[in-house]
Amino acid sequence: MADKTLYLDDLKVGDRFASEGHEIDAEQIKAFAKLFDPQLFHTDEEAAKNSFFGGLAASGWHTAAITMRLLVTSGLPLADGIIGAGGQLSWPHPTRPGDVLRVETEVMEIVPSRSRPDRGMVTMRCETRNQRGEVLQHFLPKLVVMRRPQGGARVD
């Protein structure tokens, strides 16, 4: 796990980060879908063959949840955590059993808060790709990022 050392003061537009990988399999896909997205193209390999997806595919929300885990555990070392307000989300390709997901992020915009000088809003570009480079998820979140506390020292 990366040291979580970065405050708003440390970020600049164009900074990039990369997560470790996570391999998804059919069991994970079906377990998540049974809880949160119980549709046959996410829960049943045979039924999925005749569906829109032409085979078992992960729920987009499963791809999103794995992306978040990768950001938290290795992809985006923000000192006060990853606090998202939302953003534009899309799933250009389905996530399939055997895919290895990795997330690349880039800082697109930094807007210090006028009313709350201890924080700012940072727009990131987050792309989740599989081992073939296919984009499984594209997300442009706005994150609340805190400034370094007064008197604090950078730990790195």
Q: Give the one residue of 2, 13, 18, 35 binding a second copy; rule: CB under 8 A.
A: 35
Which one among 24, 29, 56, 68 touches a second copy, defined by CB under 8 A?
68
Compute the least distance from the CB of residue 119 to a second copy, in Å. Answer: 9
CA distance 67 to 20: 10
112 forms part of the interface with a second copy (CB under 8 A): no
- Report d(CA 66, CA 58) in Å as an integer: 11
**Ramachandran angles phi, psi of 77, nearest 5°:** -85, 65
Q: Tell me how far, at minimum, the Cβ of 65 lies from a second copy, in Å.
A: 4
CB of 53 to a second copy, least distance (A): 8
Q: Is 48 helix (H, G, I), strand (E, B) or coil?
A: helix
In whole angstroms, the minimum distance from the beta carbon of 88 to a second copy comes to 5
Q: Which is nearer to a second copy, 61 or 106 (CB)?
A: 61
- Interacting residues of 117 by C-beta distance below 8 A, sequence separation 6+: 147
Interface residue with a second copy, options 21, 55, 60, 112 (CB under 8 A)? 60
Q: 29: closest CA among 4, 6, 5, 63? A: 63
Residue 99 burial (10 A CB sphere; 0-12, 13-18, 19+): buried
**From 11-19, 38-46, 101-109, 128-136, span contacting a second copy (CB under 8 A):** 38-46
Measured between alpha carbons, how far is 76 from 73 in angstroms, rounded to an integer?
8
Residue 133 Cβ, how far from a second copy at the closest point, in Å?
19
Q: Which residues contribute to the site for a second copy (CB under 8 A)?
A: 32, 35-41, 51-52, 59-61, 64-66, 68-69, 72-73, 80-91, 138, 144, 146
